[in-house]
Amino acid sequence: MLTSLVQPATMLMQQQGEGPSAVFIIIYLVIVVVLIAALWKVFTKADKPGWASIIPIYQSIVMLQIVGRPGWWVILFFIPIVNLVIHIMVMLELAKVYGKGTGFGIGLILLAPIFVVILGFGDAEYQGPLAH
């Protein structure tokens, strides 16, 4: 019975060993472009360069600046377990600096792609790290 459930899913994921379909790749690229644009908007709302959102480590440094944390905290993102705690703190703080509550911060933690799009394209305004 389990194989009858798995087999259709496997057939959807690949077309006779050819890899992902063109439709899947196009949908994936559209999602990636929307997420980059949303994070770009989050950065520009905070008067930071939007291009910083596409440079991996620099993105973290700028995000720390947006939430008012020191840049050296980027080192903490490389320490297992500690990085999870710092990520949670930064996402909760990101919600606050844009005038959102703790619930929105939890959304940023658990469903980041959706909530970053809401934050970037929504009416949230950057209030600065000392606004809370």
Considering only residues 126 and 6, tell me which one the structure prediction assigns the higher pLDDT.
126
> Please, are residues 126 and 47 in contact by the beta-carbon 8 Å criterion?
yes
> What are the pLDDT digits (tens) for 44-59?
999 999 999 999 999 9
> What are the pLDDT digits (tens) for 28-46?
999 999 999 999 999 999 9
| Residue at 5 is within a domain | no
| Residue at 13 is within a domain | no
| Residue at 127 is within a domain | no
| Residue at 131 is within a domain | no
| Residue at 11 is within a domain | no
Considering only residues 132 and 62, tell me which one the structure prediction assigns the higher pLDDT.
62
Is the model's pLDDT at 131 over the cut of 90?
Answer: no
- 43 is written with which tokens? 């950065």
| Residue at 10 is within a domain | no
Q: Which candidate, 45, 52, 94, 47, places its Cα nearest to that of 69?
A: 94
CB-based contacts of 65, cutoff 8 Å, min separation 6: 48, 71
| Residue at 70 is within a domain | yes
Give me the pLDDT at residue 13, please.
Answer: 54
Give me the pLDDT at residue 11, please.
Answer: 55
| Residue at 40 is within a domain | yes
What is the residue range of 27's domain?
20-121
Give me the pLDDT at residue 61, please.
Answer: 96
Residue in this structure with the two tokens 């989050």, named with its chain if needed: 42
| Tally of structural domains, the chain | 1
